[in-house]
Structures are given as structure tokens and as C-alpha cells.
Homo-oligomer: A and B are copies of this chain.
Amino acid sequence: MELFRRASKVIPGGIYGHASPAAGLPNAFPYYAERAKGCKYWDVDGREYLDFMCGYGTISLGYGHPAVEEAAAKQREKGSIFNHPSALMPELAETLTELIEFADWAVFGKNGSDMTTWAVQVAREFTGRKKILKIQGAYHGVDPWCTPGSGGIIEEDVAHIHPFPWNDLEAFQTLVARYRGEVAALIITPFHHPSFGDSEMPEEDFFQQIEKVCRKEEILLILDDIRAGFRLALEGSHTYFGFEPDIACYCKALGNGYNISATLGREYLRVSATKVFLTGSYWNDAVSMAASLICLREMQSAKLPSHLEKLGRKLIKGIGNEALGHGFKMRFSGPPAMPFMRFADEKNFFQLQRFCALAATEGVFLHPHHNWFLSAAHTAIDIDHAIEAASRAFALLAKEQ
């Protein structure tokens, strides 16, 4: 709190963005992290937390994973930022295009937004069309065309961005018909994971219908796999749901905390891709690419998606049962590997915030309005501990009522 008071003097809001305590757990700690290892972290007051956010998904193998750190350290001896790429860049592009079958090429950036914004430009360049369809409430980054905020946004930023509700094929087809011949792309996440709202899985045949219409109308299908990528399927989340995008953007899980994002695309977009300027001083960073290469290998040997699904199922079943035992009913949504939890009858998030604050005092960090993340470092025993802590938090919450 002392740090937050200091920060509030020199940083607007003290802490901003996704880590803002005001939006997450207001007046409940942790606010500042001190260190992390595996699936645990410690705040600046020395309190330990069993973590279910994994650096908002960037930690796929566990904090400070030995093999990734070793590869990064080895590359760091040689250097990270040069005037040129390193040999790791073609190697990483080869690895990714082999793993993710639909893709013929790859490019790299730093933020998820770097990639979604560029992908939208490539689609506009390729099609010569302006309009972009997206899902209502879907998060694709902070750039003006897609930011969830309204501050500083002008009407021109979103003049050709047209949202429709998740799973609403009729609304999608209405937009396609209204703007026939004007739509460059649909950008979509593999499942709907808004903040402050239940996750929604695609209905039977949703993506197949989407894909069919896109092919027919020559609308590019951009998969924003930044949040879910490598957690549902190592070969790309589209393989989990049975469709094929034209372009896909990845980030989070790709580097186990080392800063990298990637866009993969099909052969026929290659020329358009070279026409949309893409660069950043740090984007050829060899250390992140070394980390990413090992991270991909380790996610494969850990069989990450099935590991996360198994532990996720155990977690939501256990927490759900403990809730019932204390007179609460929880609703879980989204894939078990990235679950979203709320109180079944609560329309706002106040009780959930209180529960998560109590869970934090019991040593488990659970987020009240964002899907959770697990990692390869979590074990069945960690899940048991989390369920026990949640049980104690439910007991405290029941007492407060």
C-alpha cells in the first residue's frame, strides 16, 4: 500500500491496465509482486500465493522454467538485440509453420496488438476492402481500432469495424450481406473470453459455418489465438474446434514470459504481407526467440493441453463442490484449461471480488473477472491445495453474510 501511494504520485492511477487493483481486487492485496517460481509467487510483503493467472497467460510452463532460462541465458551470452536478426528467426519460423499446419510463413512482434493490427492491415491490403467484422466484447488489444476503452478514440478509428454477438450466425450473415464485397476480414478468438462475463464456447458448427461463408465471400478469417494459443492444442486452437484460418496471431504462451508474439499466414497472403510495413527496434530479439524455441519443445513434452485440461477439470469440480458445501453455487464457463468462474446467481461481481480477496488471504490468487490460467508447473497436489484454500475462503464468506 505504501508502494501504491508512492506510485500514485508518479503514475496515473498508480497501477493501470490489466493489473489495476481497482478493477480486480480493490483494497485487497497483492498489488506488487516480489518474485515467482513454478506456480507460486510472493508479493512485496512476503506473502505466498498459489497462482492461477500465470502472468495473464504468458507463463505456460511455470515461472523461471529451468530449460527456458538456460536457453535464454546461453543466447544472452551472445546478445539479444542486434542490427540484424539472428539465425534463430528463420529457425523459429520453420518450427512454427511445421507445427501449425495451415501456415506457410511467420512474422514476429512483441505485443499481441502488434500482430492483430498488422493482420488487419494485411487483410485490407490483400482484399482492397476496408471493413472488419469482429465479435462484440472480444478483446484484440489496445490499438485504437480494437481497444475496449473509449478514451481518446475518434469515430474514424472504428468506422469500418463491425461487431456481432458471439455464436450469432444470423447477425454475422446479415453483416456480410449488408457489406457484400466490402469486408476484408473477420477477426475472432477460438472461444469467447470477455472480461467481466462468462466465457462462451462455439456452438456446434459455428466455425464451420463461419468458414464456409468467409470462403464464399472471400473474407479472410483471422484467428486471434493470442490468449488461448498452445493451451487448447499445440497445433493451434483452430484444430481443437475443427476449422482453418487464413491468418493466426499468437503471443502469451509462446515464450514462457519472454516477450514475443507471432503471426502465421497462408501462402497467398505472402506478397500482401511484404507490403504492410512491420518493424520494431526489439522485434528481432534473439533471447526471446531462443526461449520460444525451447518453450515450444517443452510444451510438447509436457503435453500441455491435456495436462491443463485434466487439472482444470479437477480444479473446477473441487471448487464447485466446496462452494455447494458452504451454500454457494458457482458457474464455470470456457474450456477447463482456462476456466472462468462466477457465482451462479450474481449479476455483478462484488461477491466474487470478495471471495477472491478472501482466497488471496488464504494463499490462492484467483481472478474475479478474467479467465484463469494454469501451467505445466501446476500439479494435482497444487490443485488440492487450491481447493482447500477456496473452501476456507467460502467458509469466511459464508460467515460474513
Known: A89-B7, A111-B111. A79 touches B144 (CB 8 A): no
Interface pair A33/B85, CB less than 8 Å apart: yes
Assembled-state Cα–Cα distance A152/B123 (Å): 7
Q: Which of the listed residues A41, A58, A82 has the most CB atoms from chain B within 10 Å of its own CB? A: A82
Which of B79, B142, B285 is A259 in contact with, Cβ under 8 Å?
B285
Interface pair B81/A257, CB less than 8 Å apart: yes
Whether a CB of chain B sits under 8 angstroms from the CB of A333 is no
Binds B, one of A267-275, A303-311, A340-348, A389-397: A267-275
Q: Which residue of B lies closest to A277 (CB)?
A: B149
Within 8 A of B (CB), among A1-54: 3, 6-7, 9-13, 15-19, 30-37, 41, 43-44, 51, 53-54
- Bitwise, A151-182 to B at CB < 8 A (1) or not (0) is 11110110110000000000000000000000
Whether a CB of chain B sits under 8 angstroms from the CB of A354 is no
Assembled-state Cα–Cα distance A364/B120 (Å): 39
Q: Which residue of B lies closest to A83 (CB)?
A: B53
Interface pair A275/B151, CB less than 8 Å apart: yes
Q: Which of the listed residues A59, A80, A84 has the most CB atoms from chain B within 10 Å of its own CB? A: A84
Whether a CB of chain B sits under 8 angstroms from the CB of A86 is yes
Interface pair A148/B277, CB less than 8 Å apart: yes
Binds B, one of A100-108, A198-206, A238-246, A379-387: A100-108
Assembled-state Cα–Cα distance A149/B124 (Å): 13
Copies in the complex: 2
Which of B18, B251, B285 is A279 in contact with, Cβ under 8 Å?
B18
Within 8 A of B (CB), among A108-137: 110-114, 117-118, 120-125, 130
Min CB gap A86→B, angstroms: 6
Assembled-state Cα–Cα distance A9/B94 (Å): 9
Min CB gap A302→B, angstroms: 19
Residues in chain B near residue A273, CB distance under 8 A: 12-13
Whether a CB of chain B sits under 8 angstroms from the CB of A230 is no
- Bitwise, A188-220 to B at CB < 8 A (1) or not (0) is 000000000000000000000000000000000
Min CB gap A147→B, angstroms: 5
Q: Which residue of B lies closest to A258 (CB)?
A: B80
Interface pair A12/B105, CB less than 8 Å apart: yes
A residues at B contact (CB < 8 Å): 3, 6-7, 9-13, 15-19, 30-37, 41, 43-44, 51, 53-59, 63-64, 69, 76-87, 89-90, 93-94, 97, 104-107, 110-114, 117-118, 120-125, 130, 142-145, 147-149, 151-154, 156-157, 159-160, 251-252, 257, 259, 270-286, 365
If A11-B105, A11-B106, A19-B284 are given as contacts, then 15 extra A-B residue pairs at C-beta distance below 8 Å, sorted by A number, are A33-B86, A35-B79, A37-B79, A53-B83, A59-B81, A69-B76, A83-B365, A112-B280, A123-B152, A124-B153, A125-B151, A143-B143, A148-B277, A149-B277, A152-B275
